[in-house]
Structure 1
Amino acid sequence: MPDQNPLPNPTLRVIPRDQHNVSRRDISPNALRVLYRLRDAGFGAYLVGGAVRDLLVGGSPKDFDVATDATPEEVRQLFRNCRLIGRRFRLAHVVFGREIIEVATFRSNSDDGSGDRETHEGGRLLRDNVYGTIEEDAVRRDFTANALYYAIEDFSVRDYTGGFEDVRNRLMRLIGDPETRYREDPVRMLRAVRLSAKLGFEVEAATAAPIPVLAPLLAESAPARLFEECLKLFLSGHAVDSFLGLERHGLLATLLPETAQALRANRSGALRRMLLEGLAGTDRRVANGEPVSPAFLFALLLWPAYCRALITLQSQGVHAVEAQRRAADRVTVHQLGMIALPRRFSGPMQEIWLLQSRFSLRQRKRVMRMLSHPRFRAAYDFLGVRLAASSEHADDVEFWREAQLDPEHAGLMQRRGADADPDLADGDDGAGDEGRPRKRRRRRRGAPVASGE
C-alpha cells in the first residue's frame, strides 16, 4: 500500500545569486513585468518550474511560469490583459501578444472541505484549487527539479525539496511516494521519460521502479491529453531518446500497444530500425527549425502495427488493395482508444501508408498523377525512411527523386520499359480510382510492404 502521507516536510535552502547562473538577462521581459508588478502590489512572486530548471542547466526556456500568493482574481485585478482559465486547476494567463505568462496561486496539498480539492477513488487528482503557502506548493509539485523558485526581490533560488542538487546531479526524482504520485496523475510517468530525454537526466531509481507496474493506469487519462503528451514527447527534438525511454520503462506497450506487439514479433529488427531512423530525421528537422507534421509522426509510430495488420489480412486471402485499406482503418481505430488522433492527422497518415504501394507503378500517367497528389512529398519522404528497413526500396527512391526533377523524362523512360512488361502496363492497384469501373484486374502477388517487415 502506498504511503497515505506521501509528501515530505519542506526544508528551505536559499541559493544566493553568486552561487547559481540564473540571470534576468535570460528571462522573458514580460515575465519580469509580471513578477515586479505582483511584488510592488505586496504579493510574493517567483519564477518557478521548468524555466528555472532549464536556466540552471544552461538551456533556453520557451515558457516562463510564475507562482504567487495572489489569488487568480487578485491577479486579474492587477492586469487588464489577464484572463482566468481552467476548472481542474484555476490559473491566470497574462497575455502579451503571442506570449502568455501563466500565473498560478500557491496550492495546498490538503482538503479544506470546500470541494475545491477532489480525488478519484484510485487516487487520481480531479480538482485542485485549495490555495496554500509556498512551502505547501513546493512539495505538491511533481519532480524536485520542477520545484525551484527564483525570487525577484533578491535574485536567489529557493529550494524546498532538494531539487537544486538533483539538477546538478542530473536526476529526475519525484517528490514524495512515487506510487501515490503516479496514481494522482498517471501522465507523470510520461513526463518522467520526456524530461529525462530532453535534459539528459537519469530517472532516479525509486522514481523509475513503479512505472512498469503502473503503466496501465495511462488508460485512465483523457485520450486528448495523451495526444498532446505524444506531441511533446516526439516533436520537441528528442524523439529518439523519448522512444527509447518509453521502451526502457515499460510504457510503450500501453501507449502504442499494437506497435509494441509488432516490434516484438519482427525478429529481424527491420521495423525498429526504420522507426528509429524516422524519429532521428524528425529530431534533425526540429533542430533545423523545419516543421514536422503530426500525421507523418504517427505514420512512423504506427507503421509497424500497420505492417503486421496488413500481413495478417493478406494471409487470410484478402486482396492486397482491400487489405491495405482495412489494415489502415483497423490500426487507426484501435489506437484511438488510447490516443485521440484528430481526423485532420489520421486521414493524411493513412494516405501516406496507402501511397507506398504506388511507388512501384511507373507508367507515365500514373507518375504524373502521383506527383500531383497532395500527400506525395510526405509519402516519398516516408519511402526514404523505409530504406533503413530494406534496401529493396532504393530503386524506387531514385526513380521518384529523378521524377521530381524531370517528370516528363522519367515518366516516358519508364513507359518504354512498362510496354515490355504486361504486368506493369496493366498495373492497376485500384487505389485512388474509387468510382471508376475496372475493366480488368490482373491478380497481383501481394504488394510487399518491406523486406523483413
Structure 2
Amino acid sequence: MAISTGFAFSCRPHFPLSQSMRKVFMSCSAAIEAIEEIDSGKEPAEWKRFNSKELGISSSMIARPTRVVLNGLKSKGFEVYLVGGCVRDLILKRTPKDFDIITTAELKEVRRTFSHCEIVGRRFPICHVHVDDEVVEVSSFHTSGIRPVRNLGLSFEKPVDCDEKDHFRWRNCLRRDFTINGLMFDPYSKLIYDYMGGVDDIRKAKVQTIGPASFSFIEDCARILRAIRIAARLGFRFGRETALSIKNLSSSVLRLDRVHGEHLFLSVSMWKAPHGNELHVGLWLC
C-alpha cells in the first residue's frame, strides 16, 4: 500500500499564538496500490554508486559559493561531499534551497581555510563559511562521528563489498532522517553514493525513514513534520508503515511547543473513503 500526499493550508500569519488562534489543516489521500511494500528499514538496501552524469547532474548546477568552499577544501587535500536534500533536489532537477557540505577536515581546519568562517552550535557544531553574502554550511566527519549511532543493529548490516571509506560514509548516512536525504555526492569523482536506497525512492516518489518509521519518529519527533513538508513540496507519497507511524506518534510533536514557546493543539485521524479505494490522513495544528 502507498499513500500519496496532497496538502492544503489555512492560517492567520501576522499574530502570535497568544493573541489569536492559528489553524493549519494538512490532509493526505491516495489510492491504495496493489503492491506489497517492505517495511522501511527491515532489510538493508543494496548500496550503489551512480555516475552523476547518468542522473543528469553537472557541476554548473552547484551554486558558485558552494563551489568556492568545495574547491578551497579540496585544494588542501581534504575529501568533500555534498549531502542531504541538495543531492535529492539535484537529481529531481530542482534548484536546492541550500547546499550542505561534509568533509574529512576538522572544523578548526575549515576555519583556518577561509577568512570569513565561524564555528556555530554547541551540541553538534558546524562551520558557517561566508561567500558572496551567502552562508555555506560545512560539517565534519570527525564531529558527526561523536554523535551516537542509532541502534539499528537488527535492521541494518554493514554493506557488503565496501571498503573503509564506504563504511565511513555509510555510518554517517545512518544518522540521517529519510532515505532520499541519505545520499552523498563527490563532485570531483562525479559519483553519488547511495547506501540507503535513496535514488530508488526518489524514482518511486516515496518518503520513508532510514530504519523503522516508529523508531525514527520516537528518536526525533520533528521528523514527522519534516516528512509531511517534504512530501507536500515534492508531491511524494508515504508508504503504509510511515503513514501509520505518523498517525500513532503525531502527538509527540507537542514537545516542540516547549522549544518554540507556543501552545499547540493537535488532532490526527485516518479514514477510508466511503466509495473508492482511498485512505486519508488528516493532521490539524491549532
TM score, norm. by length of structure 1: 0.43
The match for 2:170 is 135
Query: Displacement, 1:81?
Result: 1.0
2:101 and 2:137 in contact (8 A); partners too: yes
1:69 and 1:133 in contact (8 A); partners too: no
- Map 1:40-119 → 2, pairs under 5 A: 40-106=75-141, 107-108=144-145, 111=148
- Report the AA paired with residue 191 of structure 2: S
- Report the AA paired with residue 196 of structure 2: T
How many Å separate the matches in 2 of 1:226 and 1:160? 38
Structure with bigger helix share is 1
Say which of 209, 226, 232 aligns to 1:197.
232
Say which of 14, 18, 21 aligns to 2:56.
21
Q: Using CA pairs under 8 Å that are at least 6 residues apart, name the structure with larger relative contact order, 1 or 2.
A: 2
Matched residue SS, 1:30 = helix
How many Å separate the matches in 1 of 2:281 and 2:258? 20
The match for 2:253 is 218
Query: Displacement, 1:226?
Result: 8.8
1:65 and 1:103 in contact (8 A); partners too: yes
The match for 2:191 is 156
- Map 1:268-287 → 2, pairs under 5 A: none
**CA 1:222–1:46: 2 relative to 1, 3 Å:** farther
Query: Displacement, 1:108?
Result: 3.7
**CA 1:10–1:222: 2 relative to 1, 3 Å:** farther
Query: Displacement, 1:96?
Result: 1.6
2:53 and 2:190 in contact (8 A); partners too: no
Instruction: Work out whether 1:178 is the aligned partner of 2:213.
Output: yes
Q: Taking every aligned residue pair, what percent have the same amino acid on both sides? A: 34
User: Per-residue CA shift, 1:287-325, capped at 9, x if unaligned?
Assistant: xxxxxxxxxxxxxxxxxxxxxxxxxxxxxxxxxxxxxxx
The match for 1:380 is none
- Map 1:293-372 → 2, pairs under 5 A: none
2:59 and 2:187 in contact (8 A); partners too: no
How many Å separate the matches in 1 of 2:96 and 2:148? 33
* Structure 1 outlier segments of 4+, above 3 Å: 6-12, 108-112, 222-227, 248-251
- Could you tell me which runs of 5 or more consecutive residues in structure 1 were left unpaired when the two chains were aligned: 1-5, 118-131, 228-247, 257-453
The match for 2:35 is none
How many Å separate the matches in 2 of 1:22 and 1:159? 15
The match for 2:71 is 36
**CA 1:59–1:140: 2 relative to 1, 3 Å:** same
How many pairs align? 212
Structure with bigger strand share is 2
Matched residue SS, 2:82 = strand
Query: Displacement, 1:88?
Result: 2.9
How many Å separate the matches in 2 of 1:34 and 1:195? 27
Query: Displacement, 1:110?
Result: 6.2
- Report the AA paired with residue 76 of structure 2: A
Query: Displacement, 1:90?
Result: 1.0
How many Å separate the matches in 2 of 1:71 and 1:222? 34
Structure whose alpha-carbon radius of gyration is higher: 1
1:109 and 1:137 in contact (8 A); partners too: no
How many Å separate the matches in 1 of 2:216 and 2:115? 36
How many Å separate the matches in 2 of 1:54 and 1:188? 18
User: Per-residue CA shift, 1:122-149, capped at 9, x if unaligned?
Assistant: xxxxxxxxxx932111111001111111
Matched residue SS, 2:130 = strand
**CA 1:209–1:78: 2 relative to 1, 3 Å:** same
**CA 1:104–1:110: 2 relative to 1, 3 Å:** closer
How many Å separate the matches in 2 of 1:32 and 1:7? 37
1:7 and 1:175 in contact (8 A); partners too: no
How many Å separate the matches in 1 of 2:242 and 2:146? 20
Matched residue SS, 2:53 = helix
The match for 1:251 is 283
**CA 1:212–1:28: 2 relative to 1, 3 Å:** same
1:8 and 1:139 in contact (8 A); partners too: no
The match for 1:375 is none
Matched residue SS, 2:223 = helix
Matched residue SS, 1:61 = coil
Query: Displacement, 1:42?
Result: 2.0
- Could you tell me which runs of 5 or more consecutive residues in structure 2 were left unpaired when the two chains were aligned: 1-40, 151-166, 263-279
Say which of 225, 238, 243 aligns to 1:208.
243
